[in-house]
Amino acid sequence: MALREIRKYEDELLRKKSRTVEEVDDRIRLLIDDMAETMYKADGVGLAAPQVGVLRRVIVVDAGSGLIALVNPEIVASEGEQIGVEGCLSIPDVAGEVARPKILTVRGLNRDGELIEITGEDLLARALSHEIDHLDGVLFIDRVIRYVDAEEEGGIKE
C-alpha cells in the first residue's frame, strides 16, 4: 500500500468522467488499498479514484462503521433530503451547505468483484453521493447552497 497524492481543485482531471472498471483485479484492489490509506491519512470520510489521478469508477468511504469500497457504484434509490455542511479533500479550506438524499441505496462491486447493495442514511448517504459525484466530474462546490466560514464549518471532509 502507498499514499497517493490528492489532486486539488485546479486539476482538470477532477472534471472528467471516470471509466467503468471491466474487471476487479489485483490492480484495482491495490488502488482500493492505496485510496483507503490516503483517505485515512488525510482524515477524510471518502475518496474517489479521480482524486488520486485515476479515471476509474472506484470509491472508498468510511462514515464511522468501517471501510466501504465500491467499484462501478450506481445509485439505485434515494429518499428524502438532508442539508448539511461538506468539505472535500481536493478543495481544502472550503466548506458549504449541500442538499443530498437522506437515504441512499447504491449497487456496485466489492473488492472481490461480487455485486453488493448498500443502503446508507445521513452521513453515509451524504458521503456515497459526494463520492459518486466525483466519478462524473461533479464537485461539491457545484451543488453548494451557501458557503460557510470556519466557525460554522464543523462539517465533513470527503
* Positions at the binding site: 88, 130, 134
- In angstroms, rounded to a whole number, what is the distance separating the alpha carbons of residues 17 and 75? 16
Q: Which of 109, 107, 117, 118 is nearest to 63 (CA)?
A: 118
Marked catalytic residue, from 5, 23, 74, 131: 131
Question: Residue 10 catalytic?
Answer: no
Binding region for Fe cation: 88, 130, 134
For residues 37-62, one letter each, b for 16 or more C-beta atoms within 10 angstroms of the residue's C-beta and e for the rest, the string is bbbeeeebbbbbbbbbebebbbbbbb
Amino acid at 87: G
Q: Name the pairing type of β-strands 156-157 and 103-109.
A: unpaired
Reading the block at residue 105, the C-alpha cell is 441505496
- Tell me the catalytic residues: 131
